[in-house]
Structure 1
Amino acid sequence: MALNKKGSRRITVDGIEYRWRIRRKPSYMQALCWTPLIYAVEAANGSRPGTTLIVTSNQAHPSNWVGAEAAPVRPACVAASIREAREQGWDPTRAGSPFRLDRSTGVIAQP
């Protein structure tokens, strides 16, 4: 699975360049704040796509329908997620199924 280059942002973590992207429109579950914001990360260089990192955050999608407060996803948070995933065994150059990182501890679903 490769990220769409349009709308993605570049970030360099420990000398490796990555691209990350948040879905512009929330899914139905995210719009109702039943599930938190999710973003995807992949290695930016290379001729073939590797494993994509899927990060489940601990905040609401900014375009949710219920007016829940949502903070922006900052590059420092993305970098921390990349480092944590690398420590857990994510290899962005190896092909395979997406690697999932759950950082949603403490999330309380909205009624």
Structure 2
Amino acid sequence: MSLVKKGSRRIAVGETLYRWTVRKRPTYCQGNGWTPLTFAVEHYEQQGSVLVVSLPCVHPRSWLLGRSTTVRPALVASAIRTALDSGWTPLQPGPAFRLSLKEEELPEGTAWFTATI
């Protein structure tokens, strides 16, 4: 599995480049608030295992009211470091590595808002 290049953003963590993306429109389950906001990360140049990060909030474009946040580069970099410490090997092929972050694991200064359409 690999990410689509169009619409993805580049981020450097240490000396390594990664590509990351967030779904612009929520899935049906995200729209109903049944599943959390997620984003995906992969190595920038080589295909390997994809990191899928779940956050403790709803998608910003959820159809129901709920607490959400904006996925910013600081949050992505923090999640990458946590995943690497937890055993994610981005250059090894294999299934997606799933990481569920709790609110206390988010970077300091993460802003919350109420998601509405």
Output the TM-score relative to the length of structure 1.
0.87
Q: Which runs of 4+ in 1 moved over 3 A?
A: none
AA at the equivalent of 1:54 = V
Q: Distance in 2 between matches of 1:27 and 1:104?
A: 21
Kindly provide the CA deviation profile for residues 3-23 of structure 1, in whole angstroms up to 9, marking residues without a partner as x: 001110110001100000011
Q: Distance in 2 between matches of 1:43 and 1:82?
A: 10
Q: How does 1:10-89 map to 2 (within 5 A)?
A: 10-46=10-46, 49-89=47-87
Q: Secondary structure at the match of 2:82?
A: helix
Richer in strand (by share):
2
Classify 1:36/1:104 alpha carbon distance in 2 versus 1 (closer, same or farther; 3 Å).
farther
The runs of 5 or more residues in structure 1 that have no matched partner are 107-111
Q: Report deviation, 1:70.
A: 2.3
Across the aligned residues of Structure 1 and Structure 2, the Cα RMSD in angstroms comes to 1.4
How many residue pairs match? The answer is: 104
The runs of 5 or more residues in structure 2 that have no matched partner are 105-117
Output the TM-score relative to the length of structure 2.
0.83
The percent of aligned pairs where both chains have the same amino acid is 44
Q: Distance in 2 between matches of 1:13 and 1:105?
A: 22
